[in-house]
Amino acid sequence: MPARAHRSPSETPPGRMEALARLPVFLSLAGKRAVLAGGGAAAAWKAELLSAAGATVEVYAEAFSEDMLRAAHEAPRGEVILRARGWRAEDLAGAAVAVGAFDDDALAAAFAAAARKAGVPVNVIDKPAFCDFSFGAIINRSPLVIGVSTDGAAPAFAQAIRAKLEALLPQGFADWVRAAAGWRGKLKEAGLSFAGRRRFWQLFAAHAVSHPLAQPREADFDRFVAEVKGLGSAVEAGTVTLVGAGPGDPELLTLRAVRALQSADVILFDDLVSREVLDFARREARKLLVGKTGYGPSCRQEEINALMISLARQGKRVVRLKGGDPLIFGRAAEEMQACTAAGIACEIVPGVTAAQGAAARLGIALTDRGHARRLQYVTGHARDGRLPEDIDWRSLADPAATTAVYMPAATLEALLARALAEGLDPRTPALAISRATRPDQRHLAAPVAELAARLRAAALPGPLLVMIGRVCAAAADHAARLRGQRAS
C-alpha cells in the first residue's frame, strides 16, 4: 500500500460576513431627544418604546389618541411631551432620532427629507422606503435585549420568531445581566488576572444559564471569585477539549459542544468536520485544519499532539474538533495520553457517531428485540491501512448482531470476503451509507454478498459507512414510506 502523503496544519481564514439587509445596532438614547410626528396608536407605541430606552420624546400632532395620552401619562422611563401642533423643520435640530407616522407618502417624504437634512436618522412607520433604520421585533430581558428584523419583508414572521425566543429565554436572565453590570467594578478590585477574570465570567455564565430563576446574590460573586482563586496558577494554563462534531448535520451538535466552540481560542479540526459546524464557533477563534483523511494527505498524529499541547501551554483554550464521536475511532486515547503526559487539563465532549446519525436518517433501529440483540463498531483498517488481523470474525457472522464498519473504503471487499468465509450468511441485508446525515446523504442496499460489487459500480463519495445486519432491511421499507408520503 502506498505511503500516505504528509500534510502540515493549515490555518483556515475566518468566514466572510454574508450580506446584511440591515446592520443591527443598539442605540443609547438615555437623556437624548427623540422627535415623533403623529398622535395615533401606532405613534403611541413608538413613543413608549423610545421612552423605555430613556429618550425624552417630543410628540408633534394636531390631536392625540387615548393611547398617546396614556403613553405620556405613564411613560416607562423618559418623559413623553405632547406638543399640540404639526412638526416643523427646526424641531428636528439636535434630535437623536426622528420617527413619523403618516398615511400620505408625500408627507412621509417631506418628514424624511427634513430629518436627513438635519442629520437625524429617521423611521417612518410601515413605510420602509423612507426609513434609515427599523425597530424590528423586540425580546426584552433588559439589560439583555434581542431584536429580530426581516427588513420589513415579513413583520408577522418576525413576531412569530420573537414569540419563540420569548418562550426560550427565562425572565430571570434580566436579573443575571443586571448583576453582571453591578459586579464588573467589584471584579476589577478582586485582584484577579485577565485569565482569572475570564474564568470568573465562564463560571457566571454557566451558573446563570443553569439557574435562570435563582436570584443573583453577593454570595454567588464571592463563590465564583473563591473558585477562581482556588485554581491558583492553573487558571493561567490552557486547556484541551476533545469535541465530537457529529457526522455532518450541524443540528446534531450537543449544547455542550456549542458552548465549547463558542469559548475556544483555537480550533483544530479534521476534514470530516462540516463547515456548517464551524459556523457555531467563536468568530475570533483561530481555526486550523489538521486534516486526517483515509488514504489522503494527512497531518501526522504526533504533529497534532505537539501543536495541541504547545497552544495549551500558551494559555489557549484549545478545541480538538473531530467528526462523529471522538471516543469512537477518533484517536482520542492518543491525544488524551499526550495531554496527561504534558500536564494539560483535557475534557471530552461526546458527539453523535456516524452509525447513529445514519440509522436515524434511514429510520432504522440499530438494536431490535426481534432482530438484533447486539451492536458492534468495527474499524475497516489497521494502523498500516490494511484489513485488521484481530477482528472477531465469529461475532461478525452472528445473525443477531448489527455491525457498523467505519472507514471501509479500501478494505471492504477483503473484509466481506473473509466474513463470508467465516460463516456470515450471504443473504444478510447490508447498507453502504455515503456522507451520513448531510443533505447529500446517499445509501445503497444489497445482500452482503453483493454489496462490494454494487458499491464499486455506484462510486459513492466518502466518507463511507457500512452497516450489516437484519435491521438494515428496514431501510427499504422506510424509503418506500417516505416516497408514499411525498406522493400523497
Catalytic positions: 270, 292
For residue 319, give the 3-state DSSP assignment.
Answer: strand
Cell numbers placing 14: 475566518
Which cell is 206 given? 454557566
**Per-residue buried b or exposed e for 425-445, using 16+ beta carbons within 10 Å of the residue's own CB:** eeebbbbbbbbbbbeebebbb
DSSP element (H, E) containing 10: strand 10-12
Cell of 457: 459500480
Q: What is the DSSP string of 122-144?
A: EEETT-GGG-S----EEEEETTE
C-alpha cell at 10: 493549515
Q: Which three cell numbers, joined as nine digits, stand for 477?
A: 421499507
Q: Is the peptide bond before 24 cis (omega within 30 degrees of 0)?
A: no
> Taking each helix axis from N to C terminus, what angle separates 412-421 and 448-458, rounded to the nearest 10 degrees?
170
Q: Is 218 exposed, middle or buried (0-12, 13-18, 19+ CB in 10 A)?
A: exposed
Residue with cell 475497516: 380
Integer Cα distance of 46 and 296 in angstroms: 60
Helix axes 332-342, 301-313, angle to 10 degrees: 40
